[in-house]
Structure 1
Amino acid sequence: MAESGLPISPGIPLDTPITGLLDGTPWRTTPVDYHEAPQLARLLSTACFIVIAYLSGARPGEVLSLRRDCLHKDPDTGLWLMGGRYYKGAVDADGNKLPQGEERADPWVVVAPVATAVKVLQRLHASELLFPTYIDNYRRSTARLGTARDVQTAAEDITDFTQWINAYCAHGDRADTIPEDRHSTLAPSRFRRTLAWFIRRRPRGLVAAAIQYGHVHVQMLQGYAGSYASGFPDQYAFEDWLYRMETGAEDQRALAAGEHVSGPAADAYRHRVTAAHRTFAGRVLTSAGQSRDLLGNPLLQIHHGRGMTCVLNPATAACQLRGTADDPLVTPDIDDCRPNCRCLARTDRDIAHVEQQVAELEETVSDPLAPPIRHARDQHELARLQAILDAHYKSRKPTR
């Protein structure tokens, strides 16, 4: 055969077709080799772990202990529900810790990418556990065959996954590599924190991201991840605390530099910013749970929107509140802000945004080809915004 001149493959190419696409083209042009398949299966399993751990808000240990058939779709609501076991706080009648955990009464409510990842794992191997120690079931030399992957191993898998992605990008001359993490090795526990950061910090980022994270947030609050037993609300509250501390410090610096504030809640804004700076500047938290308690302080109820600032008073707020008026963690719906609300304040930074809106509307209104209905609507909005600008500059005290 070697002397026949026929091409002979040094490996064992599988006849499985390459159907995955990247930017509209197959992700590879050569068949998968038999000896390469276990490595690719491990990488695929790691990718599924990242999707589930990130977009579900579940703890890493809870994700790694997921079992086959843990996913089902509620026929009435159309929601994807993911069941599982919990370990933190799982004790027997005598108060002894249960190493095997307990079945969770309330499932996670997850989004479609998480459901897809679970389905992929169920097709990837025949193990009862979605994340077994070994995927290639022909191994017989390990005593841990059939057990779940641990968190340390998952962290090592993520490192291998990152290196494979970067090698693939380098080979294909792609620029979308995974940058080096300045905090060293990526720990799986950081996925929950990152999700909380994005939900809190980027509510109005790119449209696709805003829809995705908003959808994840709504879905999570409906199931286990929305309960305090899951721990995720504490993660979100901690991110909210950090965000409010940062924006509060920025507000204080702006006031000290002479920033003007107008609107019905201007005096309340100045009082809260000054008092919050005295009360919370340099405050150190020893647990994420403390942030949830501190967020209920009225001094921290300042919420910045687009061209406006809400100095929240639930008793007089005109918007649809997120939560009940007597809930210390109630927040306003910034996207539902009403022009006649008594909680409104406008800083010079807000006014800069309003001026940008006015400039864009003036260009639209001056278009002679604009339909009459659109012209009238934009003219009405332009007059409203101009009144805001006039009121802001009129209330500014003249400088000597």
Structure 2
Amino acid sequence: MRGSGLPIREGTPLLLTVSGLIDGRPWRAEPIDEREVRALARHLIAACFVVVAYLSGMRPGEVLSLERGCLRRDPDTGMLLISGRHWKGVRDDTGDHNPHGEVRPDPWVVTEPVAAAIDVLQSLHDESLLFPNRLGARADSAQRFRDGRSSTTGRVSRDLDALRDWVNHYCEATGRSDTIPIDPEQRSIQPRQFRRTLAWFIARKPRGIVAAAIQYGHLKVQMTVGYAGTYACGFPDELAFEELLARLDNLAEAHQRLTSGEHVSGPAAELYRDRVHNAQRFTGHVLATHRDARKLYTNPDLQIFPGVGMTCVFDPQRAACRFSRDDTDSRRTPDLSDCQPYCANIARTDGDIDVLREHVQRLAQLVDDPLAPEPRTQRDRHELRRLRTMVLDHDNGRTAPHD
């Protein structure tokens, strides 16, 4: 055969057609060899873990305990629901921690990509757990690994690192630039990072929870609020912590802009300046207890919330928007989607005014449109005058004594 001149391929290619596409093209030209299957399957499971963990907000242990058949679609709402176990705060009859956990009374509400990942896992193997500790037989023997055990967070971490390295090698080999950067401070990817990253993005996106519904394709805002509306999953606590960190970051940047000469206008301008300056005393503050964290979270000097074309210097006694009326709720925040132009809590920084200037330009074009209906033109003309007045007042106030 070798002397015939016919090409010979080493290995045992699978009799499968490569159907996966990247940018409309097959992700590889050659068939998958049998020797590659196990490693590619581990990469696929790791990728499914990323999707489920990141887009559900589950803890790593809750993801790893998911069983076959855990996903269902609610016939009334059409929402995708996942049932599974949780362990935090679960006690047995004697009051001791229950190592077996319990089935979570409220399911997680997830999106279509999560459902697709679960379908892939259920078609990839026959194990009862979606993330088994080992696939099929061992490489060095015909014995099957003990059934009924899930993968561990340590094993998942190694699989995530392997997936990252495989993606980067693939990008290098195919000339792609969308590699996965390696964190210089923590080279190994930890499963807990996805839940924290989700909270990070929600806390730093404008309008918080609503932005999360848009960013992650959630069809219902309640999917992000505690996942089915409760605090039992603990995700709102992590979200609150990320919101606090984001607020401190915003205050540090605001202080730097103020000391560089930024002008602030609006009814709450003076209070804005006071709070930004007073907030600097928290630099280096150590939170030793949950009580310290709650106290810092509700401190009036930290109640500043950037909006769109405005900044809310939140005072619940003067707020014109809707917000929680429960005085015991440490998570009470303004509803920036319901911001009223006459609210006494509004301050406008130079950055806010730049946003308003862009809005003025867009409205000016709409007002000049001769084909626009007259009722809309009148409404836009009124809004244009209002915004121009705010911009002019802000610019005229730069000569005030405090600047």
Q: CA RMSD in A?
A: 3.0
Structure 2 portions without partners, runs of 5+: none
Partner of 2:269 in structure 1?
266
Per-residue deviation, 1:383: 0.9
Partner of 2:163 in structure 1?
161
Question: Given the alignment of the two structures, is residue 109 of structure 1 paired with residue 116 of structure 2, yes or no?
Answer: no
**TM-score normalized by structure 2?**
0.87
Q: Distance in 2 between matches of 1:231 and 1:209?
A: 17
Partner of 2:56 in structure 1?
56
Q: Which moved more, 1:342-351 or 1:388-397?
A: 388-397
Q: Distance in 2 between matches of 1:289 and 1:188?
A: 28
Q: Distance in 2 between matches of 1:293 and 1:114?
A: 37
**TM-score normalized by structure 1?**
0.88
Render the CA deviation track for 1:34-92: whole Å, top value 9, x for unaligned: 22222211111110001111111111111111111111111112211111112233332
- CA spacing shift, 1:142–1:328, aligned 2, 3 Å: same
Per-residue deviation, 1:128: 0.2
Partner SS state of residue 92, structure 1: coil
- CA spacing shift, 1:293–1:130, aligned 2, 3 Å: farther
> Are the equivalent residues in 2 in contact too, given 1:134–1:146 (CA < 8 A)?
no
Partner SS state of residue 346, structure 1: strand
Question: Given the alignment of the two structures, is residue 220 of structure 1 paired with residue 224 of structure 2, yes or no?
Answer: yes
Partner of 2:348 in structure 1?
346
Partner of 2:79 in structure 1?
79
Q: Distance in 2 between matches of 1:398 and 1:87?
A: 58
Q: Distance in 2 between matches of 1:391 and 1:71?
A: 56
Q: Which moved more, 1:50-59 or 1:242-251?
A: 242-251
Partner of 1:17 in structure 2?
17
Question: Given the alignment of the two structures, is residue 231 of structure 1 paired with residue 234 of structure 2, yes or no?
Answer: yes
Partner SS state of residue 329, structure 1: coil
Partner of 1:387 in structure 2?
389
Render the CA deviation track for 1:278-317: whole Å, top value 9, x for unaligned: 4x23322246785355322232221111221112233432
- CA spacing shift, 1:78–1:40, aligned 2, 3 Å: same
Q: Distance in 2 between matches of 1:311 and 1:252?
A: 14
The percentage of aligned residue pairs carrying the same residue is 50
Question: Given the alignment of the two structures, is residue 151 of structure 1 paired with residue 157 of structure 2, yes or no?
Answer: no
Q: Distance in 2 between matches of 1:254 and 1:48?
A: 43
Q: Distance in 2 between matches of 1:255 and 1:395?
A: 15
- What is the correspondence of 1:96-245 to structure 2 with a 5 Å cutoff? 96-137=96-137, 140-141=142-143, 143-183=145-185, 184-203=187-206, 211-213=214-216, 215=218, 218-221=222-225, 223=227, 227-245=230-248
Per-residue deviation, 1:162: 0.7
- CA spacing shift, 1:375–1:264, aligned 2, 3 Å: same
Q: Which moved more, 1:382-391 or 1:356-365?
A: 356-365
Partner of 2:26 in structure 1?
26
Partner SS state of residue 134, structure 1: coil
> Are the equivalent residues in 2 in contact too, given 1:66–1:84 (CA < 8 A)?
yes
Partner of 1:358 in structure 2?
360
> Are the equivalent residues in 1 in contact too, given 2:268–2:347 (CA < 8 A)?
yes
> Are the equivalent residues in 2 in contact too, given 1:91–1:97 (CA < 8 A)?
yes
- CA spacing shift, 1:214–1:138, aligned 2, 3 Å: closer
Partner SS state of residue 81, structure 1: strand
Q: Distance in 2 between matches of 1:357 and 1:27?
A: 44
Q: Which moved more, 1:338-347 or 1:53-62?
A: 338-347
- CA spacing shift, 1:4–1:351, aligned 2, 3 Å: closer
> Are the equivalent residues in 1 in contact too, given 2:65–2:129 (CA < 8 A)?
yes
- CA spacing shift, 1:102–1:15, aligned 2, 3 Å: same
Q: 1:171 corresponds to which letter in structure 2?
A: A
> Are the equivalent residues in 2 in contact too, given 1:269–1:345 (CA < 8 A)?
yes
Q: Distance in 1 between matches of 2:54 and 2:330?
A: 28
> Are the equivalent residues in 2 in contact too, given 1:203–1:210 (CA < 8 A)?
no
Q: Distance in 2 between matches of 1:3 and 1:396?
A: 88
Q: Which moved more, 1:262-271 or 1:289-298?
A: 289-298
How many residues end up aligned between the 2 structures? 396
Per-residue deviation, 1:210: 7.3
Q: Distance in 2 between matches of 1:264 and 1:44?
A: 55
- CA spacing shift, 1:105–1:369, aligned 2, 3 Å: closer
Q: 2:310 corresponds to which letter in structure 1?
A: M
Q: Which moved more, 1:31-40 or 1:148-157?
A: 31-40
Q: Distance in 1 between matches of 2:400 and 2:318?
A: 31
Q: Which moved more, 1:92-101 or 1:50-59?
A: 92-101
- CA spacing shift, 1:338–1:377, aligned 2, 3 Å: same
Render the CA deviation track for 1:96-150: whole Å, top value 9, x for unaligned: 3333322222221112211111111111111001011112347644654442110
Structure 1 portions without partners, runs of 5+: none
Per-residue deviation, 1:165: 0.6
